[in-house]
Structure 1
Amino acid sequence: MLKPVTDADGAPFWEYAARGELRVQTCSDCGEARFPPRPCCPHCQSFASEWRPVSGRGRVWSYVVPHPPLLPEYAEQAPYHVVVVELEDAPRIRLVGNLVERAGAGLDSVGPERVRIGARVHVVFADGTPQWVLS
């Protein structure tokens, strides 16, 4: 599994993920969740922020099955799904992840016939990286 490249704004996201927590950066002044993380709120221009936990439940907003895999590190697990998930408790937030059958399952564990736009999913963590499970 590839390790994420982090910056100062996004590092807390990965630190929480390594502990098995899904959190999103939220403006401390207007309460608007934002992703990707950034120093200033795009809604009220405040620089005050905090990392709030979210349920990890959502729906598949979009997906793709790369053929062939775009990165050599994933070639052995192809075909696999890359999903964009709209979070249930922060619907303006869409996160990218992989779709797996259960925590610890391979990236190729969900058959392509089971994936559809609108499918309910929830997050699981493997090696500190969020992935999405079809439920």
Structure 2
Amino acid sequence: MVARTLPVIDRDNEAYWTWGREGKLAIYRCAACEYFVHPPVPFCPRCESRDVAPQAVSGRGRVVTFTVNHKAWVPDLAAPYVLALVAIAEQDDVRIPCNIVECDPETVDFNMDVEVVFEPVEDLWVPLFRPVTA
């Protein structure tokens, strides 16, 4: 397991970091205009409604951009590793910063189809993404 800096959990981001226990990726969605909101905040930036709540999404997406890091910046971090922004399938402008795992870092590419996997760390479930297998 990779040593990770864990977030401070609050009522807005709790679902994002804990629904992975059930294999669900939670992204806030506005009930008024159905816009997905990430990072999670208690209002919709599109219509300004305060009626937002976490909703499970498919967990599918595509790599928008990435970098392959060859230096371990923290102890126990195996290099090389991939940092990426993944756009969720449900809404292209929702971008999740994450690691791409379960593949050779040199095989990651732009627009690669990926799916979420979760890494349990303490009482949180860190969303990571791996290539979609046929």
TM surpasses 0.5: yes
Gaps of 5+ in 1: 102-109
- The one-letter code of the counterpart of 1:38 is V
Map of 1:131 onto structure 2: 128
Residue pair 1:18, 1:129 contacting (<8 A) in 2 also: no
The CA distance in 2 between the partners of 1:31 and 1:80, in whole Å, is 35
Residue pair 1:84, 1:94 contacting (<8 A) in 2 also: yes
Structure 2 CA distance for partners of 1:114 and 1:38, relative to 1, 3 Å: same
- The one-letter code of the counterpart of 1:130 is P
1:1-135 alignment to 2 at 5 Å?
A: 1-2=3-4, 3-70=6-73, 72-75=74-77, 77-101=78-102, 110-127=103-120, 128-135=125-132
Deviation string 1:74-98 (CA, Å, 9 cap, x unpaired) is: 53x1111111101111222111111
- Deviation of residue 20 (structure 1)? 2.1
- Deviation of residue 126 (structure 1)? 1.7
Gaps of 5+ in 2: none
Deviation string 1:58-115 (CA, Å, 9 cap, x unpaired) is: 1100111234233x1453x1111111101111222111111111xxxxxxxx223311
Deviation string 1:2-33 (CA, Å, 9 cap, x unpaired) is: 23332332122112123321011001111110
Q: When the two structures are superposed, what TM-score results if normalisation uses the length of structure 1?
A: 0.83
Residue pair 2:86, 2:97 contacting (<8 A) in 1 also: yes
SS in 1 for 2:81: coil
In the alignment of these two chains, the number of paired residues is 125
Residue pair 1:61, 1:117 contacting (<8 A) in 2 also: yes
The CA distance in 1 between the partners of 2:57 and 2:87, in whole Å, is 12
Runs of 4+ more than 3 Å apart: none
Q: Which has the higher strand share?
A: 2
Q: When the two structures are superposed, what TM-score results if normalisation uses the length of structure 2?
A: 0.84
